[in-house]
Structure 1
Amino acid sequence: MEMHYSSNENVNNALFFLIFVFMLVIILAKIKLRRTSAPIPPGPFSWPVIGNLLQLRSNPHIKLKNMAQTYGPIMSLRLGARLVVVGLSPKAASEILKTHDSILSARHLSYTHPSSSPKLNKFAIGFAKECNEHWKNLRSICRVGLFSARAVQSQVKIREKNVANLVKYLHTKEGEVVDMSDLIFKLTLNTMGNILFSMDLFEFGPEENHSPGAQLKVLIAKFINLLASPNLADIFPILRRWDIQGKQKMAKDIHEKMFTIWNQTLKERREKKNIIREDFLDTLLDIGFNDDQINHLLLELLLAGTDTTKIIIIWALSNLIKNKNEMYKVRVELQTNIGDKILEESDIMVLPYLQACVKETIRMHPPIPFLLPHRATETCNVMNFTIPKGSQVLVNTWAMANDPSIWDDPSSYRPERFLDSGIDFKGNNFEFVPFGLGRRMCPGLPMAFAQVQYVVVCLVNTFNWFVPRDNDLDELDMEEVYHLAMRKKNPLEVIPRAVNQWIDIMKIGE
């Protein structure tokens, strides 16, 4: 009996020893792993539950740039339960957007956005969660049908005609205050409406409030405001299954109302297949896309092709109006290289100073300061720091654009810095990536850049611009506001007066 007890005791001691050794090995392994694996990027103290939310309530692009002086060119913070990694230097941008592009090219989406739904995400391009084969196929269709050199060239007459319509309308408003922010938005909507489904969404003039674009304009504003307001489900993932704020329902309702604007066109096009418009809708119908696919894809392209384009045009025109010397140089270049002939989009190629003015505008006012949010599909190492799987990853292009170690006197408008510099925004210079890089680089860049330059040069060539109440042009308001994009806080309200009265406006765009 005594021997039996002693035997059990020996067995228990042996098991305890083995368990102790096993636990010791695990603890030592974790200690070693912590010593050998890179830490996550440094960042400010985050409060329990809410993280760093209170520190980023307004102007996050500026606040993160200031934080980088303490924490370095790559840093991290928490927004509720979500880890967010931010790159703020060319080196960080290079590693995030190029070196680790395959791992960091997934998309982080707000749960407000309808594309966060797996059912709808398969119709998305820019908001597709993964760069899978389906996404590649959609992107290829859009590249060939909309963004290739051949496609962009085929759209020239559409862009020229819409600019001509705006110029003609402005001639009727000479000497009056006009809201150029509103007019440029209508111009870009009309251009994309014509390219996508051959529809004028707006008519400039007294009938514009009765045009289909009037409703679309209101719906777009509501949708942007909805996305810009915080969704608790983004901060606390446990709430994802409940739409407690009703934001997903509101976003879905807005989308459905937007679809009705071109649904009749879609229905007629399906019923009369022999009518060929040679627009992108015809391309999608020929491929065999169903109505859901077409509606969501057209809407994403329409929004992407109007908002950022409008923002860049408004900032470019504002900068030239405010900076008289640069405006004068553009006009001298126009007179020297173009002369008295009617401006065409192809003339942009011989206007390097104008191109430099647009590039400088994009540097100073990057339209999407953080690009669209990326997400890590796997854990990776960036600049000797660990980026855990599932992290949201941002690149603060605004911080780089305002870094004096990268740009000489970055707060000054100096287009000359882009003359003969070789710097562009097509992915060759990591200090200047306002449209992204790699798999997620904006595919519509060729189309948008062509339109931006042509609109700006036509408005500069045709009108002198004055500030209301006889204020000096130097006093033109240039205040920014971050609202998903880098917007002009107040509308650009100016007075146009024709420069070249002799121009036969009716010939523009023909």
Structure 2
Amino acid sequence: MEHASGLVRSFVERWEAGELNKYEQASYLRAALDRRLKNEHVTEEALVGISFILLAASVDTTSSLVNWTLLQLAVDREAQRKLAAELQRELGVGGSLTPEVTQSGRGQWLPYLRSVVREVHRMRPSIPVSLMKRTAAEVDMCGYTVPAGSLVMLDSFSPQNDPALVPDAHEFRPERWLPDAVVARKGTAAEVIDHPLLRAPFSAGARMCPGNKIANFELLTMVAQLVQDWEFELEDASITSLLDIPYHQGTTVQPQPMPKFVFRKRRPATA
């Protein structure tokens, strides 16, 4: 909160002095300050509170997903090899995931890369609760009576790791999320794991995270470039699964401590 407060106050001072750059001029906070001129009830404290949430969401969620994805690829060298082969096939050796690539639909948007990220999110979601709502009236939920005014949190971890819905749920299998596998689940109980509220840590609908596209591009771009440039594994060979890595749940779920990596320059991958 102290950090967010300092950032907001610095921003406000530069806004008042007309010193914002073109990116800051187009930012959420600039728009909020403009609205504040028309509404005296929007206080600086409120802006600090909102900015704190946005900073935490934009940084912590992405870093959690990056950390767990790199850890999984480090312990599953075959998945790392497959991903490197897809990237080199679609982007060229050492090629970057540029806006032109993502907008061209090349490689149907790198399906294995996206499946790797989706499977990591299933096993180690940044935020294991997909939605929090307070009930406006008494609600009957699966035979339980939930009183009005109760805070209800929807668990996004358990359904995606339920052996009744996900075969071999403890195993890392990106292939679960390839298009043919998703189509095969249609009309079955397992179809629930493809629900928009479960497939990413950004919620869904009109109130989903406004930065979801930026966060997703950051994650995909960083993982793609690291896998293109480096082969990597964990220094501790006894770690063979994400289940072996302790974690801490604060704002997001993060490995604690973060295991050490060993990086080597990548050689051209073979399919």
Normalised by the size of structure 1, how large is the TM-score? Answer: 0.43
1:361 paired residue number: 120
Q: Which residue of 197, 217, 235 maps to 1:450?
A: 217
Q: Where does residue 271 of structure 1 map in the other structure?
A: 17
1:429 to 172, 183, 195: 195
User: How much has 1:413 moved relative to structure 2?
Assistant: 0.1
Whole-angstrom distance in 2 between the partners of 1:387 and 1:292: 34
Cα pair distance change 1:268/1:353, threshold 3 Å:
same
Give the percent of matched residue pairs that are identical in Structure 1 and Structure 2: 24
Amino acid at match of 1:284: A
- CA separation in 2, counterparts of 1:475 and 1:377? 42
Counterpart CA distance in 1 for 2:198 and 2:18 is 47
The Cα offsets for residues 101-152 of structure 1, whole Å up to 9 and x where unpaired, read as xxxxxxxxxxxxxxxxxxxxxxxxxxxxxxxxxxxxxxxxxxxxxxxxxxxx
Call closer, same or farther: CA 1:462–1:274 in 2, change over 3 Å: closer
Unaligned runs of 5+ residues in structure 1 are 1-254, 502-510
Cα–Cα, structure 1 residues 462 and 272, in superposed 2: closer, same or farther, change >3 Å? same
The residue number in structure 2 matching 1:375 is 134
Q: Does 1:300 align with 2:53?
A: yes
Counterparts of 1:433 and 1:375, CA distance in 2: 23
Q: 1:345 aligns with which of 98, 104, 121?
A: 98
Moved more, 285-294 or 301-310: 285-294
Moved more, 290-299 or 396-405: 290-299
**Structure 1 residues 431 and 377, CA gap change in structure 2 (3 angstroms):** closer
Whether contact under 8 Å (1:315, 1:361) holds in the other structure is: yes
Separation of aligned partners in 2, 1:437 and 1:386: 26
CA contact (8 A) 1:313 1:456 kept: yes
The alignment yields a C-alpha RMSD, in angstroms, of 3.2
In structure 2, distance between residues paired with 1:274 and 1:466: 43
Q: Measure the CA separation in 1 of the matches of 2:135 and 2:251.
A: 21
Are the aligned partners of 2:4 and 2:51 in contact in 1 as well (CA < 8 Å)?
no
Query: 2 CA distance for matches of 1:288 and 1:489?
Result: 41
Cα distance between partner residues in 1 of 2:208 and 2:221: 23
Retained in 2: the 8 A contact 1:401–1:431?
A: no
Structure 1 residue 300 displacement after superposition: 1.5
Distance 1:482 1:273, change over 3 A: closer
Confirm or deny that 1:395 pairs with 2:154.
yes
**Cα distance change on mapping 1:393 and 1:499 into 2, 3 Å:** same
The farther-off stretch of 305-314 and 434-443 is 434-443
Residue 282 of structure 1 corresponds to: 30
From 65, 82, 92, the counterpart of 1:329: 82
Q: Which amino acid aligns with 2:160?
A: A
- CA–CA distance in 2 between the matches of 1:398 and 1:497? 34
Output the amino acid matched with 1:270.
Answer: E
SS at match of 2:119: helix
**Count of residue pairs brought into register by the alignment:** 245
Change over 3 Å in CA distance of 1:393–1:284 after alignment to 2: closer
Query: Aligned letter for 1:321?
Result: A
1:410: how far off?
0.6
Q: Could you say if the C-alpha distance between residues 475 and 438 of structure 1 is closer, same or farther in structure 2, counting changes exceeding 3 Å? A: closer
Distance (Å, rounded) in 1 between the aligned partners of 2:144 and 2:206: 23
1:371 aligns to what SS in structure 2? strand
Question: How far apart are residue 332 of structure 1 and its match?
Answer: 0.8
1:259 aligns with 2:5: yes
CA contact (8 A) 1:356 1:419 kept: yes
Q: 1:298 to 1:417 in 2, by over 3 A?
A: same
1:59-78 equivalences under 5 Å are: none
Do residues 416 (structure 1) and 175 (structure 2) align?
yes
Are the structure 2 counterparts of residues 296 and 391 from structure 1 closer, same or farther at C-alpha, using a change threshold of 3 Å? closer
Distance 1:322 1:379, change over 3 A: same
Unpaired segments ≥5 residues, structure 2: 38-42, 184-190
Tell me what 1:18 maps to: none
Larger radius of gyration: 1
SS at match of 2:253: strand
TM superposition shift of 1:453: 1.1
Are the aligned partners of 1:368 and 1:434 in contact in 2 as well (CA < 8 Å)? no
CA separation of 1:499 and 1:264: change in aligned 2, threshold 3 A: same
Asked whether 1:479 is paired with 2:246, we answer: yes
- State the alpha-carbon separation in 2 of the partners of residues 494 and 410 from structure 1: 26
In proportion to residue count, which structure has more helix? 1
Runs of 4+ in 1 over 6 A off after TM superposition: none
The alpha carbon displacement at 1:468 in A equals: 2.8
Q: Is the 8 A contact 2:4 2:55 kept in 1?
A: no
